[in-house]
């Protein structure tokens, strides 16, 4: 996901209980080395012309939060994959449960999971840092920075391969793995080193790019929930995201997810797709994963001008409301987009964003609705 945006302020900094990830590292556990299922596993000659996928996050099961351990993360990831496959999702995600931190249960780790392990970042954030960040105010919805950049950025202990391998070992087929965009991460940091937002953003892009080779996923998705509200930064965001996308192995499907933010059902960023067309067309991606269900109908007009070399993924499940869409509603949303952009342009349908803020029962029924609606539209 996008698991989407972090809450207005980050949580307490004093760790009390070790997160599953920390426990795993402490135990020296390693996921088995596995190969990714090929893209063909998600799309074959017999598969429908429009595939279903999810965006990334899944609600953290209560039993994982109550008794976190490496084994519990693996078990929960199996459950999340199974739920999606049984619902009929063609390309499931791992649910991003490995990012869950019991000390920060009100965030889904979309930012902190990447920022905290990196070299060159201090996560000691007190009053003066918070006040400096507020004056700088790069993100209106975030009061505290995720960290302070104190030196040259490096991977530190960030190891996406280990977490991707853990997911691959229990995926049971094709799956998608997600990474937060360097631009979005840069917006959460207070910079005391680079002296240039551009340099900081590109440095983050280089750190993330170095993590891409060899990731055993069928599809890698870069998540960005901030640029829609800041279209002036689009060239920088595109350049830094392309660093990451270009580092993905040949044969691995590349996806980019965009949304307008999602926290507690709120739209965080103002903006529309129209202003971002040049940016979208500059991305080195195979397909887009766009928030559209919780958007004004006028947004559909912009989709016509997205380069034909980029396949369209459209959000047809609104994750900001608890209403479970009917198959007719989902089918009607797909039809509305294909009427605008022409038949055959839509290759993927999905929820608008990650599911992490919904109740599990709601998320599960929405996944079923997604598949039923796609099937209804295609007459399957």
| Residues contributing to the site for Zn ion (CB under 5 A) | 2, 4, 225, 259, 353
Bridge partners of 361?
Answer: none
Give the C-alpha separation, 98 to 303, whole Å: 34
CA nearest neighbour of 288 among 312, 308, 254: 312
The distance of closest approach from Cβ of residue 353 to Zn ion in the complex, given in angstroms and rounded to an integer, is 3
Instruction: Identify which of residues 4 and 77 has a Cβ nearer to Zn ion in the complex.
Output: 4
The distance of closest approach from Cβ of residue 229 to Zn ion in the complex, given in angstroms and rounded to an integer, is 13
Helix axes 70-87, 360-378, angle to 10 degrees: 30
The distance of closest approach from Cβ of residue 349 to Zn ion in the complex, given in angstroms and rounded to an integer, is 15
Instruction: Identify which of residues 179 and 225 has a Cβ nearer to Zn ion in the complex.
Output: 225
Return the residue matching tokens 């928030």.
Answer: 291
Instruction: Identify which of residues 225 and 292 has a Cβ nearer to Zn ion in the complex.
Output: 225
CA nearest neighbour of 241 among 199, 283, 203: 283
The distance of closest approach from Cβ of residue 5 to Zn ion in the complex, given in angstroms and rounded to an integer, is 8
The distance of closest approach from Cβ of residue 290 to Zn ion in the complex, given in angstroms and rounded to an integer, is 10
- Radius of gyration of the CA atoms of the chain, in A: 19
CA 322 to chain CA centroid, nearest Å: 20
Q: Classify strands 147-154 and 119-122 as parallel, antiparallel or unpaired.
A: antiparallel
Instruction: Identify which of residues 108 and 211 has a Cβ nearer to Zn ion in the complex.
Output: 108
CA nearest neighbour of 172 among 91, 110, 238: 91
Instruction: Identify which of residues 219 and 225 has a Cβ nearer to Zn ion in the complex.
Output: 225
For residue 136, the SS3 value is helix
Say if residues 41 and 173 touch (Cβ distance below 8 Å).
Answer: yes
Instruction: Identify which of residues 74 and 110 has a Cβ nearer to Zn ion in the complex.
Output: 110
The distance of closest approach from Cβ of residue 2 to Zn ion in the complex, given in angstroms and rounded to an integer, is 3
CA 34 to chain CA centroid, nearest Å: 22
């Amino acid at each position: 996901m996008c698991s989407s945006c972090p809450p207005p302020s980050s949580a307490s900094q004093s760790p009390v209980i070790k997160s599953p990830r920390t426990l795993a590292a402490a135990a020296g556990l390693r996921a088995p080395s596995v190969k990714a299922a090929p893209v063909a596993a998600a799309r074959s000659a017999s598969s429908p012309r429009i595939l279903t996928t999810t965006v990334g996050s899944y609600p953290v099961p209560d039993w994982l939060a109550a008794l976190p351990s490496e084994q519990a993360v693996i078990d929960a990831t199996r459950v999340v994959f199974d739920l999606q496959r049984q619902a009929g999702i063609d390309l499931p995600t791992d649910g991003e449960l490995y990012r869950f931190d019991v000390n920060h249960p009100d965030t889904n780790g979309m930012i902190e999971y990447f920022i905290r392990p990196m070299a060159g970042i201090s996560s000691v954030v007190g009053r003066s840092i918070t006040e400096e960040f507020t004056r700088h105010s790069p993100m209106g919805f975030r009061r505290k920075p995720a960290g302070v950049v104190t030196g040259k950025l490096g991977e530190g202990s960030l190891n996406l391969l280990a977490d991707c391998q853990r997911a691959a070992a229990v995926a049971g087929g094709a799956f998608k793995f997600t990474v937060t965009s360097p631009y979005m991460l840069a917006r959460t940091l207070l910079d005391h080193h680079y002296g240039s937002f551009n340099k900081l953003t590109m440095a983050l892009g280089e750190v993330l790019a170095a993590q891409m080779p060899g990731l055993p996923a069928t599809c890698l998705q870069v998540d960005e929930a901030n640029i829609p509200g800041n279209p002036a930064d689009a060239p920088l965001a595109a350049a830094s995201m392309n660093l990451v996308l270009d580092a993905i192995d040949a044969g691995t499907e590349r996806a980019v997810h965009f949304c307008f933010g999602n926290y507690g059902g709120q739209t965080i960023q103002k903006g529309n797709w129209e202003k971002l067309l040049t940016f979208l067309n500059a991305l080195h991606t195979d397909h887009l994963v766009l928030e559209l269900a919780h958007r004004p109908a006028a947004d559909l007009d912009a989709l016509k001008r997205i380069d034909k070399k980029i396949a369209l993924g459209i959000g047809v499940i609104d994750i900001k409301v608890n209403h479970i869409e009917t198959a007719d509603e989902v089918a009607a949303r797909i039809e509305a987009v294909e009427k605008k952009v022409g038949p055959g342009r839509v290759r993927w349908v999905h929820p608008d964003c990650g599911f992490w803020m919904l109740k599990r029962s709601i998320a599960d029924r929405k996944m079923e609705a997604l598949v039923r609606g796609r099937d209804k539209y295609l007459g399957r």
